[in-house]
A and B are shown apart, each in its own frame.
Chain A
Amino acid sequence: MTAAISADGIRQRYGDVQAVDGVSFTVEAGEFYGILGPNGAGKTTTMEILEGVRKPDEGRVELLGMNPWPRNPKLLPRIGVQFQASAFFRKLTARETIRTFASFYGVGPKRADAMLERVGLGDKAESLTEKMSGGQAQRLSIACALAHDPELVFLDEPTTGLDPQSRRNLWDLLRDINAEGRTVVLTTHYLDEAEVLCDRVSIMDHGKILHTGAPAALIRELDDTVRISIASGQLPLDRARELLTAAGADIANLEDDTVSLSVSTRLPAPVLSVLAEQNALRGLEVRGATLEDVFLQLTGREFRA
């Protein structure tokens, strides 16, 4: 069985910027695959190359065993691409919009309307798209991508700019889409989103994929790093470093962001005892590693969306 996607050594340059710098990966059919990276990492450019709307400077892409570039009409009905929310015809209602796009695929109005219901826009069917909220427009955009029942769905930061409730609703929808057997490729700059949704995630920065794996496995690979934090102002950072080093603690990271002082370590016991000795336990929190720590370890810097 051919992979849903295989990308091999793709590169794309814009002037001085090497936006995508030798990216290779495969996505199996039915997988929920994520590309996680901060803004400017090259996620959108990578997606555009996969979708076949941009020709890479170098490298090879196959979708469902076919080359997406140049425009391949055989492939098009089998893929669905979610667009930025404004990519609608002007002055049309939600219903008219999805019916129009559906008709391009030979999909009739009944199915289009059903898809509108499915994303929870049934009561917004008569609203002009210009008058819809960000979350509604985003759901309409996804509905338009799904109306023709594609096997392979591309979603580029679908939840960016949504309020927490809308995000959660959209997550439910995306899980369902994937559970129905569709392969989903999602980009995000939200760590929690990648963690919650993706079967496998690639961490991307400066146009390169740094690491790929199941979110849980990536975190486990950090050798059970634990992040311990207390409220700021109980212990100066320098003093903390001194004491922790003296106590023989193995510190992966130590920082004070003026709200809390945090220590990442594989051996929590000495750290905790130092903090207890100093009577600096106010606001104490101990949690396991997250994707954020994975990113930190891979790049040596904080993850900033």
Chain B
Amino acid sequence: MTPTTSTEPKVPAQRGGRAGAAGERERVSAFWSLSRAMLLGMKRDRTATFFILLFPLVFLVFFGTVTQGSGSPHAKVAQVGAVKLFDSMQGDARNGLNEVLTITRTDDEAATLEKVRKGDFDAMIEQGPDGKVELRYSAADTVRAGALQGILNSVVQSANQAATGQPPAYVLDSQQVEDKSLKPIQFLTPGLLGWAVATGAVFGAALTLVNWRKTKVLRRLRLAPISAGTVVSSRVVVSLLTALLQSAVFLVVATSFFGLKLTGDWWLVIPLVICATLAFMSIGLLAGSVAKTEEAANGISQVIVLPMSFLSGSFFPLDDAPGWLKAISEVMPLHYLVKSAQSVLTRGGGVMDALPTMGGLLLFAAVLTAVAWKLFKWEDD
């Protein structure tokens, strides 16, 4: 047949129920096949795998190894004058403390402070007349500073508890002091985990959106009889699976190799990470909606994620930061994830430490997604 000269009319073929009964059986859910397509693509993309899984792990291993030395027993602390809290400690409790700290007594506050500045001491501790215990430390070694703070906090808490006259369980507590504070891994893990989850979710959503728009995959999806909900939810499922995998790997590596001790309700980190992933994805969606190129999406994501990580205490504690910095950090979802994750993973926090954060993260996600929805474009023009 030669269509150019053909004069016989072409009769449209009768096509019945498209896929038929057999097709009905074969019918696969668009949702799952779309999710599967994304997961397969990600699994085969070495660069993506590296940045999502290995790169944060490299950080964990690096910090974990470095701080294993510096966070080891015998931080040198100068005690100025009497500190009732320490002086009254006896027996096992005192031994436990001595394993952790070498306490040197001094009298001259100014001279001691100077020594802390020079690094001869890691910190100076004194007690005011009102019973307030003050810890002054150098910011040079933030990891050790964090560890010290943890130790002191625990000691103060234990002492407070003892003061209430409740059954003390003092020996047990002092054991906990050691575990909690000795290993910087206890606060590194939640921080770095938060950073890893944020990176994965923000970049994942932003780059996928821009790449799909640029290569016209987005147009294909738009022309297919599937709902926007299907597309969005399968992308969400992919990001959630990624984040949960990151969390699992992190916790396994940190507990197996760096002595992370999980506290009671550590599983609460799972719903926390899920809510946080939604919040971070909404940031990524926003970035992907305004960016025209992958480079731009990458840049915008980087500019958001990196400062957010520093300001949220992912890499080092922020307790010492100026007030305005803390104020900035308080609008960042990562700040709350890190705080709550620290609480439930390593500080014995419970449901009530996680719930408000989860609510806040979901609200954040809802607001940003609504904004992204407004700015969303199917096509470049």
| Residues of A in contact with B (beta carbons under 8 Å apart) | 14, 29-32, 51-54, 71, 73, 76-77, 79, 81, 83-84, 86-92, 96, 99-101, 103-111, 128, 144, 148-149, 151, 175, 178-183, 195-199, 215-216
Decide: A30 near B220, CB < 8 A? Known: A91-B44, A100-B34, A149-B18: no
Cβ A87 vs Cβ B28 within 8 A: no
Cβ A91 vs Cβ B40 within 8 A: yes
Cβ A178 vs Cβ B10 within 8 A: yes
CA distance A106 to B27 in the complex (A): 5
CB distance from A192 to the nearest CB of B (A): 10
Known A-B contacts: A90-B45, A103-B27, A149-B15. Give 7 more (CB < 8 A). Answer: A86-B215, A91-B40, A104-B224, A107-B18, A178-B10, A179-B3, A199-B3
B90 at the interface (CB under 8 A from A): no
Which 8 A-B pairs rank lowest in CB-CB distance, beginning with the nearest?
Answer: A108-B26, A181-B13, A104-B224, A103-B33, A91-B44, A87-B216, A181-B12, A30-B10
B72 at the interface (CB under 8 A from A): no
Q: Which of A84, A100, A179, A181 contacts B37 (CB 8 A)?
A: A100
CB distance from A98 to the nearest CB of B (A): 11
Decide: A181 near B224, CB < 8 A? Known: A96-B40, A108-B28: no
Cβ A151 vs Cβ B12 within 8 A: yes
For chain B, the count of residues having a C-beta within 8 Å of the partner chain is: 45
Interface residues of B in 341-381 (CB under 8 A from A): 378-379, 381
B84 at the interface (CB under 8 A from A): no
1/0 per residue, CB under 8 A from A, across B95-111: the answer is: 00000000000000000
Cβ A53 vs Cβ B379 within 8 A: yes
B232 at the interface (CB under 8 A from A): no
Decide: A101 near B19, CB < 8 A? Known: A109-B26, A181-B12, A197-B3: no
CB closest chain-B residue, reference A171: B3
B9 at the interface (CB under 8 A from A): yes
Chain A residues whose C-beta falls within 8 Å of the C-beta of B41 in the assembled complex:
89-92
Chain B residues whose C-beta falls within 8 Å of the C-beta of A31 in the assembled complex:
10
CB closest chain-A residue, reference B25: A108
CB distance from A90 to the nearest CB of B (A): 4
Chain A residues whose C-beta falls within 8 Å of the C-beta of B88 in the assembled complex:
none
Chain A residues whose C-beta falls within 8 Å of the C-beta of B10 in the assembled complex:
30-31, 178-179, 181, 199
Chain A residues whose C-beta falls within 8 Å of the C-beta of B13 in the assembled complex:
180-182
CA distance A180 to B222 in the complex (A): 27
How many contacting A-B pairs (Cβ < 8 A)? 141
Chain B residues whose C-beta falls within 8 Å of the C-beta of A53 in the assembled complex:
219, 222-223, 378-379
Q: List 18 A-B contacts (CB under 8 A).
A: A51-B223, A53-B378, A54-B379, A87-B215, A87-B219, A100-B34, A103-B28, A104-B221, A104-B225, A105-B18, A107-B19, A107-B27, A108-B25, A110-B26, A128-B44, A175-B3, A182-B13, A197-B4
Interface residues of B in 208-252 (CB under 8 A from A): 211, 215-217, 219-226
1/0 per residue, CB under 8 A from A, across B151-175: the answer is: 0000000000000000000000000
CA distance A103 to B225 in the complex (A): 10
CA distance A111 to B220 in the complex (A): 19
Chain A residues whose C-beta falls within 8 Å of the C-beta of B378 in the assembled complex:
53
CA distance A67 to B28 in the complex (A): 29
Cβ A83 vs Cβ B224 within 8 A: no
CB closest chain-A residue, reference B12: A181
Cβ A30 vs Cβ B45 within 8 A: no
B135 at the interface (CB under 8 A from A): no
B256 at the interface (CB under 8 A from A): no
B23 at the interface (CB under 8 A from A): yes
Chain A residues whose C-beta falls within 8 Å of the C-beta of B25 in the assembled complex:
108
B1 at the interface (CB under 8 A from A): yes
CB distance from A173 to the nearest CB of B (A): 13
CB closest chain-B residue, reference A14: B381
B331 at the interface (CB under 8 A from A): no
Chain A residues whose C-beta falls within 8 Å of the C-beta of B216 in the assembled complex:
83-84, 86-87
Cβ B220 vs Cβ A83 within 8 A: yes
B321 at the interface (CB under 8 A from A): no
CB closest chain-A residue, reference B208: A90
CB distance from A224 to the nearest CB of B (A): 17
CA distance A96 to B219 in the complex (A): 19
CB closest chain-A residue, reference B38: A89
Chain A residues whose C-beta falls within 8 Å of the C-beta of B3 in the assembled complex:
32, 175, 178-179, 196-199
CB closest chain-B residue, reference A107: B19
CA distance A71 to B223 in the complex (A): 8
CB closest chain-A residue, reference B227: A73
Interface residues of B in 90-149 (CB under 8 A from A): none
Cβ B4 vs Cβ A179 within 8 A: no
Q: Which of B18, B40, B225 contacts A73 (CB 8 A)?
A: B225
CB closest chain-B residue, reference A84: B216
CA distance A109 to B221 in the complex (A): 18
CB distance from A12 to the nearest CB of B (A): 10
Cβ B5 vs Cβ A216 within 8 A: yes
B30 at the interface (CB under 8 A from A): yes
CA distance A182 to B25 in the complex (A): 26
Q: Which of A14, A77, A88, A216 contacts B18 (CB 8 A)?
A: A77
CB distance from B118 to the nearest CB of A (A): 55
Chain A residues whose C-beta falls within 8 Å of the C-beta of B1 in the assembled complex:
175, 179
CA distance A22 to B16 in the complex (A): 37
Interface residues of B in 50-81 (CB under 8 A from A): none
Decide: A105 near B215, CB < 8 A? Known: A32-B3, A89-B41, A149-B15: no
Cβ B30 vs Cβ A103 within 8 A: yes
Chain B residues whose C-beta falls within 8 Å of the C-beta of A106 in the assembled complex:
18-19, 23, 27, 30
Cβ B219 vs Cβ A148 within 8 A: no
CB closest chain-B residue, reference A74: B225
